[in-house]
Structure 1
Amino acid sequence: MKITQAKACQVFDSRGVPTVAVCLWSDKVYAIGMAPSGASTGSHEAFELRDSGDTFQGKGIQKALMVFADKVKNQLLQKDFADQQELDSLLQEIDGSSNFQNIGANTAIATSIAFLRLQALVQGKEVFEVLGEQLTINNYQLTIKTITPMVNVINGGKHADSGFAIQEVMIVPVKGETTSEKIAIAAEIFAALKEVMKEKGMSTLVGDEGGFAPTIKNVSQAFDLIQHACAKTQYKFGDDIKIALDVAATELYKNGMYLIEGTQLTAKQLVNFYKDLVTKYPIMSLEDPFAEDDFEGWSMLKEQLGEKIQIAGDDLTVTNVERMKMIKEKELISAIIIKPNQIGTISQTLEAITLANDYGWKTIISHRSGETEDTTIADLAYAVSSPFIKTGSMSRSERVCKYNRLIAIEEIINN
């Protein structure tokens, strides 16, 4: 496919922060890709190119736009691309580093997504179909599978200003035969949770990812709120609804200690903290329960809770196959968060997913806290038959649009 015109411009993410949008044309057909951005980011992620000046508190993207115009655009216009891999390989070649240090992963992922979406339009296919064909070029058949949403209902950490340490408290609807049924269950409980919080005189303002951001003292209080919300519905807490946590523990780690609920804990004490929670509440998944390089803490947790719950890496693994290989050798996790902008291109994302499947890790396709209206991750989840997706709460349109796309894809497949 030939790209006949290319342009990058500044748009804004869900926090009102500038981000890169790339528009690619093939004759009269065009598609747009937009880069999301995280607040809690792992140090091993691909490099996000920002201006570091006074404008937008250093988060401007004029450098990225200049790089696209000077280094990327003309290269895109000179080739007839056979597939996604060829385009993404060119982006890596233009950059010349291992982590997009020169053109920026925000520039790269916006370009990669735009090309993916352009292929779908030119070929008259759905985005998930193009992704699936990229995985198995000659013999692709979509595996119809229910995707379970991990719905962030209470925000904390860097995603809210409430003082609550845990970054995400999520509900996981294990009941429901279809993706759309599971989304509807989550929406009903989210509405009931709002009612419970109002009855208790608590704020129902939401955080970056659409979950409520109340002033609460501990994670047990968050669980109790969810349990009361479930009681207002037909769904049973523990049977129909499980709990998942994204601790984002790197943000809580300093000088070998973790600050949890006002108390400094060693890694061993933090393992005991998690064990107590798992005993008392229906927790099925812990994400980033330890800092990204605290391998001793991860190992202790895997040994003591690995048979009972899912242990997921995010900052630990950053969708990077080299990092993943190292973590596999240490046997620290059973699931992995997949974020395309952590690595920089769609092809590298698919490579990470393929490796995760080879390792027997469950994949969790994920958004970022600074999101756009782009719905590519919903198509990605279906294309790779991921068992889980994280795309925020049942509020804020940049979150809900992904759920709506999941529902639409399910309808397309069934018809």
Structure 2
Amino acid sequence: MDTVINNIIARISILKGGKYSIEVDVITPSGFGRFASPLEADPMLYLVEAYRGVSEVDEIIGPELIGFDSQDQELIDSYLWEIDGTEDFSHVGANTALAISIAVAKAASNSKGIPLYRYIGGTFSTEIPVPMVEFGRDENFRYLAVVRDITEIRDVLDGIVKIEEFAKTCTLEELSEASELASEELGIDVGLGLVQLKPFELEELLGIVENNNVAYIKPLSDEEEVYLELMAETHGVFIDGENLFRAKDILDRRYYNALSIKPINFGTLTDVYNIVNDAKSEKITPIMAEATFESADEALVHLAVGLKSPAVILNKDSLVKMNELIRIAEDLGERARIITFEG
């Protein structure tokens, strides 16, 4: 079969920030897939460990997977868990597992001659996620541009340009006012996204959300009370529960209405697919998100489109991913539509 895996090759990959990770090639008779796995904050994978991961792929995992059909994604992903033998990929490494898994999907989609987003999501993958783009930070927050009534992807970039034009400093008060001015100037609704970087008292955090043009916030806290209060006291604001979910495995709409999903935190493509569907079943909006240390690989936006994620969080310098999203919209043509992104 043209989709059977003939070979798997691993090598060292250098990510943004000078961190070392693993890049994997999966080769079939008629296709090829490559993925360089990202790393999350404070990675422990240094060069020696990266080489160990490459050896695991070249000497153990790769030979085991040769002969598998690359279209059997779920089977291959479950076999990766079996080979690892732990509950968190602590043996082979989460980045190794993710690199193999997504490279397999890329090889299968390439063999079939279709883009990755369509291979993952099928014929009805026509919805374009809203890009939420980080454009600045201070000691309190990372700041994202959130365009709530987006009609074209370029609206987000126009919004950032206008915010930066109006804001003299990168502070919350300046940026909040600048986002409102940008909305008036462009005729679109430009809000702020806040990723909390330092602790605040709950009342102060509520005041920040209520008194500024905030459309999205990811609290630093892992305490249920913070999320319950934010959900109760705000309207039309996305409350991202990633920190609560990762600390206490709580997936419940009562506590938050959005969940940023970094594939590196979940294992394989099948695991990412499952958490997206679990979130949707709880009426929680899944948001695909970049990890702290990323490569230039464009796969994340294909996952966002294929899994029908209403938004994707990108850094301002993630031009490869942003341009790929524009290409996907162009590929879909008149079938493309931007997913409604409302809190």
TM-score where L is the length of structure 1: 0.73
Change (3 A) 1:63 1:143: closer
Among 147, 151, 155, the alignment partner of 1:185 is 155
Give yes or no for the alignment of 1:309 onto 2:237: yes
For residues 228 and 310 of structure 1, the distance between their equivalents in structure 2, rounded to whole angstroms, comes to 21
**CA shift for structure 1 position 155:** 2.7
Q: 1:301 to 1:290 in 2, by over 3 A?
A: farther
Q: Which amino acid aligns with 2:195?
A: D
- Is the partner of 2:312 in helix, strand or coil? strand
Kept in 2, the 8 Å contact 1:365–1:377? The answer is yes
What is the aligned-residue identity percentage? 20
Picking from 37, 40, 52, the partner of 1:38 is 40
Contact 2:164 2:178 in 1 (8 A): no
Paired residue for 2:251?
Answer: 327
Cα distance per residue 1:139-169 (max 9 Å; x no partner) = xx4153342221211134xxxxxxx221x21
Which of 134, 157, 170 is the equivalent residue of 2:144?
Answer: 170
2:212 corresponds to 1:284? no
Structure 2 residue identity aligned to 1:247? Q
Provide closer, same or farther for how the CA distance between residues 190 and 308 of structure 1 changes in structure 2, counting only shifts above 3 A.
closer
Question: Which residue does 1:159 correspond to in 2?
Answer: none
The answer on 1:241 being equivalent to 2:190 is yes
5+ long unaligned stretches in structure 1: 41-47, 134-140, 157-163, 203-215, 253-257, 259-264
Look up the equivalent residue of 1:192 and give its one-letter code: K
Please list the CA deviations of residues 75-102 of structure 1 after superposition, one character each: whole Å capped at 9, or x if unmatched: 1114345521111111111111111010
Once residues 149 and 71 of structure 2 are traced to their aligned partners in structure 1, the CA distance between those partners, rounded to angstroms, is 42
1:190 Cα deviation from its structure 2 partner:
2.6
Distance in 2 separating the partners of 1:300 and 1:193: 29
Counterpart of 1:373 in 2: which secondary structure? coil
In 2, distance between residues paired with 1:351 and 1:71?
27
The aligned residue for residue 92 of structure 1 is 81
Secondary structure of 1:381's counterpart equals: helix
TM-score after normalising by structure 2:
0.87
Gaps of 5+ in 2: 335-343
* Preserved CA contact (<8 Å) 2:176 2:213: no
1:411 counterpart = 2:330: yes
CA distance in 2, matches of 1:176, 1:301: 25
8 Å Cα contact 1:49-1:64 kept in structure 2: no
Counterpart selection for 2:202 from 271, 293, 297: 271
Letter in 1 for 2:251: I
Which amino acid in structure 1 is aligned with residue 161 of structure 2? A
Aligned partners of 2:148, 2:228: CA distance in 1, in Å? 28
Q: Give the superposed CA RMSD.
A: 2.5
Instruction: Indicate the SS of the match to 1:315.
Output: helix
Q: Distance in 2 between matches of 1:227 and 1:27?
A: 54
Matches within 5 A, 1:7-406: 7-27=9-29, 29-39=31-41, 50-51=45-46, 61-133=50-122, 141-156=123-138, 164-166=139-141, 168-177=142-151, 181=152, 183-196=153-166, 200=168, 218-227=171-180, 233-235=185-187, 240-248=189-197, 252=198, 258=199, 265=200, 270-287=201-218, 289-292=219-222, 294-305=223-234, 307-318=235-246, 324=249, 326-328=250-252, 331-393=254-316, 396=317, 399-406=318-325
Deviations 1:320-367 (A, max 9, x none): 9xx65x332x83111111111111110000011111111111111111
For residue 308 of structure 1, report the CA deviation from its aligned partner. 4.5
Q: Distance in 1 between matches of 2:279 and 2:99?
A: 24
Are 1:49 and 1:103, in contact at CA under 8 Å, matched by a contact in 2?
no
Whole-angstrom CA distance in 2 between matches of 1:327 and 1:362: 11
Deviation at 1:120, TM superposition (A): 0.7
Shift of 1:12: 1.0
Q: Which amino acid in 2 is paired with 1:353?
A: V
1:316 positional shift? 2.6
Q: Shift of residue 302 of structure 1?
A: 2.8
Please name the residue that 2:339 is paired with.
none
Residue type at the aligned position of 1:391 = L
Q: Is the CA contact (8 Å cut-off) linking 1:127 and 1:379 kept in structure 2? A: yes
Q: CA deviation at 1:222?
A: 3.5
How far apart are the structure 2 equivalents of 1:369 and 1:223? 25
